[in-house]
Structure 1
């Protein structure tokens, strides 16, 4: 009786190509994620909706009582709302910004139209470089600089030009080391604004020492004795901000302040705002790290293992077939 011998199975051969092909795919995907996808993920968001609040001691000029009110708690509230319709998913980011300055009296009203000061702006920037883009009804315009409501991605230890809307010009902010905000480390930048004339305002002459004159065009002066910003290194998101603005009036051609319209002494992000900004920075970092580091590393290791395993299986498969 003759014994039958089964021919070697050919099914093993194509199956052994699966890990080899998958490994090769992952080896190609790893650098693609790190060098192509991750840089394109570094884009300023267009659907942002963030509110930040500054508080601190200060003083202001009460037009009703016609006098300076001191030792008050001032509140600055800024809401940034992205205009998705006018933004470009690959090019520009359009943000509408509403900023109110409130005294204890106006804060209770919860109405920006009745705030001590209310200003609206429209910022347009390049989503990749954070440079200004002059289009889409920007206001103020044209503004300049490197840093506005955020710093560029991959913040460096250098001096940045920060746009100050009250000044209407850029302010150099110098790198001043690192700082931890709510346990999260960022780069710290500081700067000041020397007293600078920013415009004129018609007021009764007696307010600025010109009692014999009815109305005069008083000079408006602005200074900021302490600007401090802490930015997340990877995303440029500002996780802490502190300012000490001072707006005064001088007589036409005068050399000293006569009226203090507004003075803030160390106005800074509230604890809640700091926690919110740090959370956003952590989330942004986690996503960028996943795309730029974790996923490429995992893909590279898995790809190498699968490629080696697949090659071994292919060689063994060939020997079995032969």
Structure 2
């Protein structure tokens, strides 16, 4: 993969354009029940905090590139964002990760609904700041577990405009230059259909900075996805739970949903806590 690594050397900002490097994004998810309890919505809604740290392997060591922190409230049954309890996202960086701003989430964020259908679902994208359609593609077995595969295609376009140092573009002159933040992605998710849980995820990210008179600079370019170990663990954790929910469906659907929520609570933090390891595109 390719990435932009901003750091300091002898008190001066340096921007290294990394190429053919391994990237890793590690997500941690923590439930915060006090937020929904304070609103009296704990029976049908939940609030989860998710943090993601992205790192590059430089000289044999994992080096921090970026950090994000996001809080999302959602319906326990459908997985759809509700914004009931003060949703927020990080507006800081590794030096100041505590800076937060309000956000109005839409669509699904952590998971699909119980009893997933072969249709399109609206899925949140943080770089776009909105939800777009994720289309059903096919069924696929992963180590014997049947999954529904969905794909979200985001055509590359400008998502922001900001002032950035000229040095990012290799200019030795001081000062800043207006630049467009360009972003595109092909996100593919493998979903266990009874629970709506993500078994495997992959993103083909194309993010860059563009400024007049300079060559385009990739900030993140390549394919990143769940590691083989994470996928294997997810299959082990959710094969029996998904089958159980499928067995008690139909006339017992309300019971199935209730049990499903309990199973999600027991297992999803472990599922999402696994790192996602990037690999260079062939």
For normalisation by structure 2, the TM-score amounts to: 0.72
8 Å CA contact 1:208–1:218 kept in 2: the answer is no
Q: Do the aligned residues in 2 keep the contact of 1:82 with 1:95 (CA within 8 Å)? A: yes
Stretches of 4+ moved more than 6 A in 1?
Answer: 209-213, 293-296
Deviation (angstroms), 1:185: 1.1
Q: 2:235 — aligned with what?
A: 278
- Contact conserved, 2:105 with 2:130, CA < 8 A, in 1? yes
Q: Partner of 2:164 in structure 1?
A: 203
Q: Does 1:93 align with 2:42?
A: no
- Call closer, same or farther: CA 1:153–1:107 in 2, change over 3 Å: farther
CA deviation after TM superposition for structure 1 residue 286, in Å: 4.3
The structure showing larger relative contact order (alpha-carbon pairs under 8 Å, at least 6 residues apart) is: 1
The equivalent of 2:216 in structure 1 is: 258
Q: Deviations over 1:171-199 (max 9, x none)?
A: 32111111112221110111221112222
Q: 1:70 matched to which residue of 2? A: 19
CA–CA distance in structure 1, aligned partners of residues 58 and 171 of structure 2: 30
Q: Secondary structure at the match of 1:195?
A: strand
Report the secondary structure of 2:117's partner residue.
coil
Q: Is the 8 A contact 2:202 2:223 kept in 1?
A: yes
Instruction: Name the one with the larger helix percent.
Output: 1
Query: C-alpha distance in 2, partners of 1:189/1:107?
Result: 35
> In the TM superposition, what is the alpha-carbon distance from 1:262 to its structure 2 partner?
1.4
The structure whose Rg is larger is: 1
Aligned partner of 1:81 among 8, 30, 38: 30
How far apart are residue 120 of structure 1 and its match? 0.5
Q: Which runs of 5+ in 2 are unaligned?
A: 8-13, 90-102, 254-282
Q: Which residue of 1 aligns with 2:138?
A: 177
Contact 2:72 2:83 in 1 (8 A): no
Is it true that 1:243 corresponds to 2:203 in the alignment?
Answer: yes
Query: Could you report, residue by residue, the CA deviation over 1:214-247 in whole angstroms, capped at 9, with x for unpaired residues?
Result: 31231211111x2111111111101111101122
2:85 to 136, 146, 155: 136
Question: How far did residue 62 of structure 1 move?
Answer: 2.6
Normalised to the residue count of structure 1, the TM-score between the two structures is 0.64
Structure 1 window deviating more from structure 2 (135-144 vs 121-130): it is: 135-144
Higher strand share: 2
Secondary structure of 1:246's counterpart equals: strand
Q: Residue 288 in 1 paired to residue 245 in 2?
A: yes
Are residues 295 and 165 of structure 1, via their aligned partners in 2, closer, same or farther at CA, if it must alter by over 3 Å?
Answer: closer
Aligned residues: 230
Instruction: Provide the aligned C-alpha RMSD in A.
Output: 2.8
Q: 1:221 corresponds to which residue?
A: 182
Q: Confirm or deny: 8 A CA contact 2:73 2:84 kept in the other structure.
A: yes
Deviation sequence 1:71-119 (CA, Å, 0-9, x none): 001111111111233344421111110111110149946xxxx721110
Q: Distance in 2 between matches of 1:158 and 1:278?
A: 23
Quote the Cα distance in structure 1 between the aligned partners of 2:164 and 2:33.
Answer: 42
